[in-house]
Amino acid sequence: HYAPDLIQTAFLSNHFQWTNEFRKTEVWLGGFRLDQEAIGLHFDASYSQVKNLIYWGNYNYPVQAYDKVGITRVSLQKNFRWRQWHLNNSIIYQHANTSIVSLPPLLSYQSLYYERSFIKNAVHTQIGIDITYLSDYYPDVYNPVTGNFSNQRSIAGGNNLILEFFF
């Protein structure tokens, strides 16, 4: 159990004002992890249940959900290595039983890089690319007045690749 933050219970500014008496939030977590080090495979599954979740609603005000919010998450990770080349792969499926928790259902992360040490192993170098994919979802929007992220359902995000080169 944990109590609401001060900003969730009382706030006064030029743009917002509220006083709330929220119940304590209760969290239950369960899951398991399976690691097969011999083949470099990692599997993880978890379920979280939150009662009395406090979230930031569509109009940037804190709201408490009295129904239980459930979040399921399953991930699979497999890394490959050939000589000094590495390919790290991770895929995640997640689902919330309500729209107040906005999650991309599918995330994928790959990293392909070349790794080598130079100058008698004094300089360690990795050169490669990270590729991230997020499926369609409605990301929360930032409110600089309260410093929090609020729900929104008007602008979809995700369904794109993010490429990052590194060295």
More confident residue, 56 or 119: 56
Q: What is the pLDDT of residues 48-107, one digit of tens each?
A: 999 999 999 988 999 999 999 999 999 999 999 999 999 999 999 999 999 999 999 999
In the chain, the percentage of residues whose pLDDT exceeds 70 is 100
pLDDT-based confidence at 145, cuts 50/70/90?
A: very high
As a three-state string, the secondary structure of the chain is: CECCCHHHHEEECCCCEEECCCCCEEEEEEEEEEEECCCCEEEEEEEEEEECEEEECCCCCEEEECCCEEEEEEEEEEEEEECCEEEEEEEEEEEECCCCCCCCCEEEEEEEEEEEEECCCCEEEEEEEEEEEECCECCCEEECCCCEEECCCCCCECCEEEEEEEC
- For residues 59 and 16, give the distance between their C-alpha atoms in angstroms, rounded to a whole number: 10
pTM: 0.86
Residue 114: how many CA atoms within 13 Å on its side-chain side? 3
- What is the structure's pLDDT at 118? 87
- What is the structure's pLDDT at 135? 97
- What is the structure's pLDDT at 89? 97
